[in-house]
Amino acid sequence: MSEAAAFWESEIKAKGLTILLDGSKIMACMARAQEVPYRRLCISRYESYFYWATDEYLTHPGLREAFDSLSEWPDVDIEAVYDVALEKYLFVSLGMRWRSLAKQMVMNSLRHFYYKARGMERGRAMSWRSMAFYPVMVRLAYNRFSKLAMATLKDLDGKTFVYYPLHKEPETALMQSSPEHLNQHATIISLARDLPAGVLLAIKENPSAVGRRPKNFYNEIAAIKNVVWLRPDTASIDVIKHAAATVTISGTASMEAAILGRPALTFSDRVSWNFLPHAVAITKESDLKTALDWAVNKFSDFDKARRDGARFVAALKMVSMDMTGYGRDKNKRVLLRPENVEAAYRGLCQSLNVEPFESSELEVA
C-alpha cells in the first residue's frame, strides 16, 4: 500500500497531472493529498443513471442540495433493480449453464498456463485444478445453498420480519463506502440479537457471491433461531415492500427501501440517502437495538416517507447522467452509444466546473 501511495505521489508531481480518473482508493487519497481533482464513473443505483464520484468514498456531489431545491416532483415506484444489477444477475444465470461452465473451465485452464509461463503471482496462488474447476465448484455450491434457502415471501405472510440482503465480497460498495464495518457474519449476529421479540431476520444471498463464502457460513447463520434464508431467486424489491425494515451495510437495497418509503438502516454514514428522515445510519453498535425498535414498532409516517423517497429520486436524476443503452450484451461485449459518451463528457465537465467543448469547436480545432 505504501508503495502504491508513493507511486501516485511521484506520478502526480513528475508528470504534472491535473486530473485522475477511475482509479483505486489509494489513487483517490493521493489525489486529494496533492489537491488534484479525482473522478470515478459510478452507477447511481437507479435505472440507467450514472454520476461522477469525487472521492474514495464514492460521494455523490450535489444530491442533498438538489433535494432541498425541489418544490414539486412526481410519484415513483420500483418494480425491478437498476439496469446494471439486472445485467449482472443475467450473467450469473447464464454462467450456471453447463455449456457455459465447460467454456469457463477451458478459459481458466488457459489463463493458468499463461500466468505460469509469465511467472506471474496468479500462476502460483492457485493450482491448475483449483482454477480450472472453480466454475463447477460454484455451481455445486449454489445447488447446496438452494437446498438450505427454501423460504418464500408466502412463508412469511402474517409475520413481521426485517430484511438483510448480503453484500458480495469483495465489493466496492462495502469496502470503500464503509471501511469501518466489513464483517457481515458479525452484523447478522448483532441484528438477530437486537431484533424485537417475535421479529424474524430474512436474509437473501447475493447471486454472484455463492461459492465465495467460508464453507460453514450458511449453516452457521441458519442455526440462529430467528433467522430465515430466502430462496436465492426471490425478487429483492418484493421483499423490501413486505419487510418492516431493510438493513444493509451500505447496499442498494436500503436505498430502494428509502425510495419506497420504508425504514432503511445502514451501517455507513457515507451513503447518499442517509439525509432522508426514514433512513438511519448506525455508527455505534449500542444504537442498533434502539434503531430496530424504531423501525419495527414506532415508525408510522409512511406517506411522508414515500413523498421524500420520490423527491430523492427526482434529485438523483437532476445530478446524474442518463446512460440508457450503456452496458454489456450477453457475451459481455461493451455496448456504448454516442449519446452515452456525450452525457458522460458533459457530466464530467459539469463536475469540474468547466465549460465543455462543442463538437463544432473540436472540428475547427
pLDDT tens track for 80-109: 888 888 888 888 888 889 999 999 999 999
The answer, yes or no, to whether residue 177 has pLDDT greater than 80, is: no
185 contact partners, CB below 8 Å, separation of at least 6: 217, 220, 221
Q: What is the grid cell recorded at 1?
A: 500500500
Is pLDDT above 50 for 256? yes
Mean pLDDT, residues 65-72 taken together: 98
- Over residues 248-265, mean pLDDT: 97
Q: Is the per-residue pLDDT at 76 higher than 70?
A: yes
Does 85 fall in a domain? no
pTM over 0.75: yes
pLDDT in tens, 208-227: 888 888 889 999 999 999 99
Task: Assign 332 a pLDDT band (cuts: 50, 70, 90).
Answer: confident
pLDDT at 159: 98
Indicate whether 30 belongs to any domain: yes
Q: Are 203 and 218 in contact (CB under 8 A)?
A: no
Region 294-317 average pLDDT? 98
Q: What is the mean pLDDT of residues 53-61?
A: 93
Q: Are 251 and 257 in contact (CB under 8 A)?
A: no
Condensed to tens digits (0 to 9), the pLDDT of residues 229-252 reads: 999 999 999 999 999 999 999 999
Q: How far apart are CA 261 and CA 305, in angstroms?
A: 4
- Residue 363 — pLDDT band, cuts 50, 70, 90? low
Each as own residue / partner, the long-range contacts of residues 188-195 (CB below 8 Å, 24 or more positions apart, any chain) are: 188/164, 188/221, 188/224, 188/227, 189/224, 190/285, 190/288, 191/162, 191/164, 191/247, 191/288, 191/292, 192/224, 192/225, 192/226, 192/227, 194/288, 194/289, 194/292, 195/162, 195/226, 195/292, 195/296
Q: Which residues pair with 200 in a beta bridge?
A: 161
Q: What CA–CA distances, in Å, run from 323 to 52, 181, 255, 266?
A: 12, 31, 20, 27
**Which of the 8 DSSP states describes residue 50?**
E
* Tally of domains in the chain: 1
Residue 268 within any structural domain of the chain: no
In this structure, is residue 25 part of a structural domain? yes
Mean pLDDT, rounded, for 28-44: 95
Backbone φ, ψ for residue 241 (5° rounding): -65, -25
50 alpha carbon, distance to own chain's centre: 13
**Rg value, the chain, Cα:** 22
Comparing 168-177, 302-311, 345-354, the range with the smallest average pLDDT is 168-177
Q: What percentage of the chain's residues is helix, strand, coil (to nearest 5)? A: 50, 10, 40
Residue 119 has pLDDT above 50, yes or no: yes
**pLDDT of amino acid 357:** 82
Domain with 67, as residue range(s), is 2-79+322-350
DSSP E strand stretches across 74-171: 161-165
Please tell me the predicted confidence (pLDDT) of residue 364: 47
The residues, any chain, with a CB within 8 Å of residue 115's CB and separated by 6 or more, are 121, 122, 123
Judge whether residue 359 has pLDDT over 70: no
% residues pLDDT > 70 (the chain): 98
- Residue 83: count of CB within 10 angstroms of its CB: 19
Average pLDDT of every residue of the chain:
93
In angstroms, rounded to a whole number, what is the distance separating the alpha carbons of residues 243 and 165? 12
Q: Is residue 121 one of the residues assigned to a domain?
A: no
